[in-house]
Amino acid sequence: MSPPLTYSRPTHPTTTAYSGAQTTIPVRTHAQGKDAVKFLEGLVVGDIAGLKDGTGSLSVFTNEQGGIIDDTVVTKVSCCQFSAV
């Protein structure tokens, strides 16, 4: 069984984050499968389960302490397929 998370090829060059660490930012992240909602709701703030097909929500990725890592838009493509940009 493959993991529910896949990455598109990054198109942004390596950038320096506020912490000074070097990071590569993927342009788009996809989550699909029966555990996609649970997986995404563990990463971002928001009611991912409540999204209707073809709708999205502004959210943030958080760290273990609840601090914001980055903002994102999570879109529900279909029943068990999501995209985060």
Along the 85 residues of the chain, how does pLDDT read in single tens digits?
445 544 444 444 444 444 455 555 555 788 999 999 999 998 899 999 999 999 999 999 888 888 898 889 999 999 889 998 8
The rounded distance, in Å, linking the Cα atoms of 27 and 11 is 7
Nearest in space to 6 (alpha carbons), one of 25, 26, 23, 24? 26
Q: Kindly list the strands in the beta sheet with 29-32, ordered across the sheet, starting from the edge strand earlier in the chain.
A: 5-7, 29-32, 81-84, 68-78, 56-62
The rounded distance, in Å, linking the Cα atoms of 21 and 70 is 14
Domains of the chain with CATH codes: 5-84 (3.30.70.1400)
